[in-house]
C-alpha cells in the first residue's frame, strides 16, 4: 500500500534590503529546484498577508519551515498570524555564522559565494524537510 | 500652501512563487539604488509583522505598489493595512505594453531578463517622477 506524503512548505523572507533576505530565498529555491524538488513547495508571503484562501490552506494543511532574513521575523510571524506555529524556524544569518568562509553579498540576489552558502544551507534544511515529510505520512 | 513630497515609498510584490516576483524585486531594487534620496521601501509582510511605524508607512510616504500578478497583493495589502497607494503598477501590464515576454525562472536572472528588469524599473522611476511632481 502506498503512502502519501504531504508537501513541506518553505517560506523565505520577502526583503529586498538585506543580503540575508536574498540568502533565505536562494536557499528556498535551491531546495525546491535541486535538493528536494518533490517535497518542497513555497508560496508568496504577501499572499498570506492578504489571506489568499489557497495560500492559507497550503500553510495550514502542511508542515511549514520559515527562513527569516532579519530579526523582524516576517515569515515566522506571518504564519503565526494564521494561528499556526511553524514546525521549524531558521534565521538566514546563522547559515553564515556557521560557515564563515562563505560570506554572501548582494541584496536582491546573492553572489556566487552566496549561492554556495545557500547550497550548504539547503542541504542542512533538507534534513528537517525529510523529518517533517516522514512525520506527515498518511 | 503646497507641501513638497521628498520621498516616495515603493512596495514590491515579493512573489517568491512566481518569476514575475523576482522581476519585481530586481526592478524595485534597481530604482531604490538609482534614486536613494527620493525612494524608500518596506518589506510587505511588515504590515502584519511590524509595529506602528511600519503600518503608517503609506501615510508617511506617497506609495507606489508594484505587483507581479493579478492577485495584486502589494496594492491590496498596502490599502488594507497602511493607506491608499498613490499609484499601483502591474508587471503583466508593463510587459504587455513593452512587448516583452514574462520571465520563466525564479532566480539567477541574466542578460535574457535584462530588458524586462529595465522596462519595469523605468516605469517605476517614471511613476516616482509623477508622484514627486504631484501628478
Confidence label for A122 from pLDDT (cuts 50, 70 and 90): very high
Residue B6, φ and ψ in degrees, nearest 5: -95, -40
Q: Give the structural domain span for A86.
A: 8-128
Residue A56 lies in a domain: yes
CATH code where residue B83 lies: 3.40.50
Q: What is the mean pLDDT of chain B?
A: 93
Return the SS3 of A98.
Answer: coil
Distance from C-alpha of B70 to C-alpha of A99, rounded to nearest angstrom: 40
What pLDDT score does B112 carry? 96
Residue A32 lies in a domain: yes
**Structure letter (DSSP) for residue A108:** S
Counted residue by residue, chain A has a size of 138
What pLDDT score does A137 carry? 47
3-state helix, strand, coil in chain A (%, to 5): 50, 10, 40
Q: Give the structural domain span for B117.
A: 8-129
Report how many domains make up chain B. Answer: 1
Report how many domains make up chain A. Answer: 1
Residue among A48, A49, A55 with most chain B CBs within 10 A, to mutate: A49
Specify whether the CB–CB gap between B25 and B11 falls below 8 A: no
Taking only residues 82 to 101 of chain B, the set having a beta carbon closer than 8 angstroms to any beta carbon of chain A reads none
Distance from C-alpha of B70 to C-alpha of B102, rounded to nearest angstrom: 14
Whole-Å CA distances, B33 to A18, A78, A90, B27, B77: 13, 28, 28, 10, 24
ipTM of predicted assembly, 2 dp: 0.91
Summarize the confidence of residues A83-98 as an average pLDDT.
97
**Can you give the C-alpha Rg of chain A in angstroms?**
14
Put simply, whether the predicted model's pTM sits higher than 0.90 gets the answer: yes
B97-119 in b/e form (b: 16+ CB < 10 A) is eeebebbeebbebeeebeebbeb
Residue B69 lies in a domain: yes
Enter the C-alpha cell of residue A19. Answer: 543580503
Other beta carbons within 10 angstroms of residue A102's beta carbon come to 18
Give the residue with greater pLDDT, B38 vs A135. B38
Residue among B11, B34, B43, B80 with most chain A CBs within 10 A, to mutate: B43
Enter the C-alpha cell of residue A106. Answer: 548582494
pLDDT in tens, B62-119: 999 999 999 999 999 999 999 999 999 999 999 999 999 999 999 999 999 999 999 9
B49 contacts A81? CB cut-off 8 A: yes
Residue B15 lies in a domain: yes
CATH code where residue A101 lies: 3.40.50
Residue A138 lies in a domain: no
Please indicate if any CB of chain B lies within 8 Å of the CB of A112: no
Residue B119 lies in a domain: yes
The minimal CB distance from B76 to the residues A26, A50, A72 is found for A50
pLDDT at B35 over 90: yes
Specify whether the CB–CB gap between A6 and A62 falls below 8 A: yes
Burial of A119 from C-beta contacts in 10 A (0-12 / 13-18 / 19+): middle
pLDDT in tens, A23-49: 999 999 999 999 999 999 999 999 999
Q: What is the mean pLDDT of chain A?
A: 93
CB pairs < 8 Å spanning A and B: 100
Amino acid at each position: 500500500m502506498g503512502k502519501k506524503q504531504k508537501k513541506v512548505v518553505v517560506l523565505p523572507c520577502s526583503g529586498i534590503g538585506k543580503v540575508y533576505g536574498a540568502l533565505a530565498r536562494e536557499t528556498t529555491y535551491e531546495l525546491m529546484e535541486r535538493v528536494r524538488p518533490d517535497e518542497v513547495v513555497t508560496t508568496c508571503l504577501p499572499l498570506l498577508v492578504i489571506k489568499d484562501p489557497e495560500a492559507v490552506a497550503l500553510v495550514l494543511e502542511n508542515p511549514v519551515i520559515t527562513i527569516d532574513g532579519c530579526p523582524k521575523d516576517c515569515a515566522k510571524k506571518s504564519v503565526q498570524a494564521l494561528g499556526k506555529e511553524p514546525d521549524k524556524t531558521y534565521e538566514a544569518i546563522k547559515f553564515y555564522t556557521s560557515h564563515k568562509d562563505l560570506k554572501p553579498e548582494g541584496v536582491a540576489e546573492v553572489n556566487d559565494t552566496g549561492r554556495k552558502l545557500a547550497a550548504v544551507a539547503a542541504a542542512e534544511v533538507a534534513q528537517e524537510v525529510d523529518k517533517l515529510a516522514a512525520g506527515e505520512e498518511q | 500652501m503646497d507641501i513638497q513630497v521628498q520621498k516616495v515609498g515603493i512596495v514590491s510584490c515579493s512573489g517568491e512563487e512566481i518569476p514575475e516576483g523576482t522581476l519585481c524585486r530586481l526592478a524595485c531594487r534597481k530604482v531604490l539604488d538609482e534614486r536613494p534620496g527620493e525612494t524608500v521601501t518596506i518589506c510587505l509582510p511588515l504590515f502584519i509583522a511590524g509595529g506602528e511605524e511600519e503600518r503608517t508607512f503609506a501615510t508617511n510616504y506617497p506609495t507606489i505598489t508594484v505587483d507581479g500578478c493579478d492577485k495584486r497583493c502589494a496594492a491590496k495589502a498596502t490599502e488594507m493595512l497602511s493607506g491608499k497607494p498613490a499609484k499601483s503598477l502591474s508587471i503583466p501590464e508593463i510587459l504587455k505594453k513593452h512587448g516583452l515576454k514574462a520571465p520563466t525562472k525564479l532566480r539567477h536572472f541574466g542578460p535574457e531578463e535584462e530588458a524586462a528588469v529595465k522596462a519595469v524599473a523605468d516605469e517605476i522611476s517614471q511613476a516616482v517622477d509623477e508622484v514627486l511632481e504631484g501628478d
